[in-house]
Structure 1
Amino acid sequence: MTKPPSPPASASAPLPAPVQPPVFGRALCAMVTPFTSSGGLDLDGAQRLADRLVSRGCDGLVLSGTTGESPTTSDTEKADLVRAVREAVGERASIVTGVGTFDTRHTVELTSDAEKAGADGVLVVGPYYSLPPQDALEAHFRDVADASGLPVMLYDIPGRTGVRIEPDTLIRLAEHPRIVAVKDCSADFLGAQKVLARTALAYYAGCDEHNLALYAVGAAGYVSTVANVAPERMRAVLDAFDAGDTAEAARLQRRTVELVEAMMASGLPGAVTAKALLDDMGLPAGAVRPPLRPAGRDTVAGLRAVHERLTA
């Protein structure tokens, strides 16, 4: 009797595990914090802006980060902002809020406040100014992660903090059950890939020019400042890549470059340029708080022209 042919090895191989959705979503906006004409927190404006961003493709909002002018908002304002945005978007989007300071005790207090206010996670920047060594940095993040039940997104932005969260430190921190994500502004593409290869951390590009590059090597998505004014255009890059059209994804990413450069590499902080464009579009933003200063008329006109070319 002829023996039937053996099935190919792949037929008996275990099916791959289903891909889990990113913990905070893919397309996250680093939302500005709207202020009133008198300089107070504009909670109504924040709700309207948050609703618009979610309706136009953002599946997560990062509040009180760099673009959200966190150094100039009070602890009470940070918590009030979370509550207001949660009321506006409900469960349609994740809410991650910045709690990082140069003081571990204060950061722990803000983390507890964020949990009570209804945040889905916290963004924790490296302690700035004091330049802690890596072992102290690691202890800081572990203390914060131990302080609540919220998942933690680490924020690696050495250009502002003066200290890098080294890849080996990130790999060790990934062992903590509540340290689940990284917002990467390190510009270290090799280091990012090293962490991606050795951990399950959800990586988010924190610089818009890196959105597609990091996504292509396994990142979860982005935390975008430019998404404040062009949420659909930023998300379209990821959608094209996920659809398997990598050439279209690259084309769409290149289309954003002029606006990314105008907003993020013009010598002005992203909070200034994003608010200038939002105000010009008639959307909630308001002025920036000192020491930042609003963009000048010529800068606004230039931003408007670039934005119109992208969204035409």
Structure 2
Amino acid sequence: MTSTRPALGRALCAMITPFTSSGALDLDGAQRLAGHLAARGCDGLVLSGTTGESPTTSDAEKRSLIAAVREAVGTRATLIASVGTPDTAHTVTLAREAERAGADAVLLAAPYYSRPPQDAIEAYLRETADATGLPVVLYDVPVRTGVRIEPDTLLRLSEHPRIVAVKDCSNDFLAAQTVMARTDLAYYAGCDEHNLALYAVGGAGCVSTVANVAPSEVRAVLDAFDEGDTAGAVRLQHRLTPLVEAMMAGGLPGTVTAKALLAALGLPAGPVRPPLCPADPGAATALREAYARLTAEVSSTTARR
């Protein structure tokens, strides 16, 4: 079998959760940011994920965020709510609440910290998938959960009627291709440096943190590839790489770097919640410089056309 592309979108943004200056949930800001991202090419938004500071937002805040963003974007973008926790019962509750609040799908990582074996991980994922009528995107991110969703487990889970996709942060490109070749699971790159590479071997798209600040540029890579301009897609991915490196490989979490840049761009962001700390002035300057180089290259290319 080959990968299929469900109606979840191609260029998905792992959206930050805006807060007010006092640290409260900024629903107006979330609506403005979601509308901005949808207008600039993001056909899907992942809410309350890692980049959305899920560990420090309450269940009520997660529900309110889904409802507010749904109101803002309507059908312009799919909404995928991250619901994973270390507790099966809590995860099931969050999945049901996400469905009631208007999510189109849920994102589900392996239960973290307890590091259960594969049979227990599979049971957790199946129980949550059985709890709602929503499509499920599995999230393979062992650097955060401490455990893989192993390829053999993914192969078995692919038979579940509501488990339709994988957000891949395994850094195991061979395993991803193996599962893609043997199932109908739609694979999304969860690491921005892999967006084009995974797409080129049949991936469904990406779930991008960098898209918070460069949505059009992230989308352009996929568009160029779809148009048959592989050389152009490579060029556009290379153009993005310095910003990807600055945001994702500079020692700061993507939430911190995305919020620092969004604030500099005058877009809703607000502070990060502890234990995260804001980017220091030096890091913030380096991020702005990387972003400025990208926009200068985009402007130069546009001017030459």
TM range (shorter): over 0.9
Partner of 2:303: none
Partner of 1:60: 44
Amino acid at match of 1:161: T
In structure 2, which of residues 251, 262, 267 is the aligned counterpart of residue 267 of structure 1?
251
| CA distance, structure 2, for counterparts of residue 124 and residue 56 of structure 1 | 26
Partner of 1:75: 59
In structure 1, which of residues 181, 185, 203 is the aligned counterpart of residue 169 of structure 2?
185
Are residue 204 (structure 1) and residue 156 (structure 2) matched? no
| CA distance, structure 2, for counterparts of residue 189 and residue 68 of structure 1 | 25
Amino acid at match of 1:27: A
| CA distance, structure 1, for counterparts of residue 75 and residue 215 of structure 2 | 19
Partner of 1:12: none
Q: What's the CA shift for 1:298?
A: 1.2
Q: What's the CA shift for 1:20?
A: 6.3
Are residue 256 (structure 1) and residue 246 (structure 2) matched? no
Identity value in percent: 73
Are residue 89 (structure 1) and residue 73 (structure 2) matched? yes
3-state secondary structure, aligned to 1:53: helix
Partner of 2:105: 121
| CA distance, structure 2, for counterparts of residue 23 and residue 125 of structure 1 | 20
| CA distance, structure 1, for counterparts of residue 292 and residue 12 of structure 2 | 22
Structure with bigger gyration radius: 1
3-state secondary structure, aligned to 1:180: strand
3-state secondary structure, aligned to 1:170: helix
Q: CA RMSD in A?
A: 1.1
Q: What's the CA shift for 1:297?
A: 1.0
Amino acid at match of 2:74: G
CA contact (8 A) 1:64 1:97 kept: yes
Amino acid at match of 1:192: A
| CA distance, structure 2, for counterparts of residue 272 and residue 167 of structure 1 | 31
Q: Which runs of 5+ in 1 are unaligned?
A: 1-18
In structure 1, which of residues 231, 239, 260 is the aligned counterpart of residue 215 of structure 2?
231
| CA distance, structure 2, for counterparts of residue 219 and residue 133 of structure 1 | 28
Could you state the TM-score of these two structures normalised by the residue count of structure 1?
0.93
| CA distance, structure 1, for counterparts of residue 5 and residue 191 of structure 2 | 21
In structure 2, which of residues 257, 270, 273 is the aligned counterpart of residue 286 of structure 1?
270
Q: What's the CA shift for 1:23?
A: 2.6
Amino acid at match of 2:88: T
CA contact (8 A) 1:174 1:199 kept: yes
| CA distance, structure 2, for counterparts of residue 80 and residue 182 of structure 1 | 25
| CA distance, structure 2, for counterparts of residue 69 and residue 27 of structure 1 | 20
Partner of 2:300: none
Q: 1:165/1:21 Cα in 2 relative to 1: closer, same or farther (>3 Å)?
A: closer
Could you state the TM-score of these two structures normalised by the residue count of structure 2?
0.95
CA contact (8 A) 2:99 2:134 kept: yes
In structure 2, which of residues 139, 143, 151 is the aligned counterpart of residue 155 of structure 1?
139
Runs of 4+ in structure 1 displaced over 6 angstroms? Answer: none
Q: Which runs of 5+ in 2 are unaligned?
A: 297-305
| CA distance, structure 1, for counterparts of residue 6 and residue 221 of structure 2 | 17
CA contact (8 A) 1:27 1:223 kept: yes
Partner of 2:156: 172
CA contact (8 A) 1:27 1:59 kept: yes
| CA distance, structure 1, for counterparts of residue 232 and residue 22 of structure 2 | 45
CA contact (8 A) 1:230 1:311 kept: no
Are residue 100 (structure 1) and residue 74 (structure 2) matched? no
Q: What's the CA shift for 1:21?
A: 4.7
In structure 2, which of residues 116, 129, 136 is the aligned counterpart of residue 132 of structure 1?
116
The size of the alignment, in residue pairs, is: 295
Partner of 1:28: 12
In structure 1, which of residues 216, 226, 251 is the aligned counterpart of residue 200 of structure 2?
216
CA contact (8 A) 1:122 1:153 kept: yes
Q: What's the CA shift for 1:22?
A: 3.2
**Larger RCO (CA under 8 A, 6+ residues apart):** 2
3-state secondary structure, aligned to 1:143: helix
| CA distance, structure 1, for counterparts of residue 154 and residue 294 of structure 2 | 36
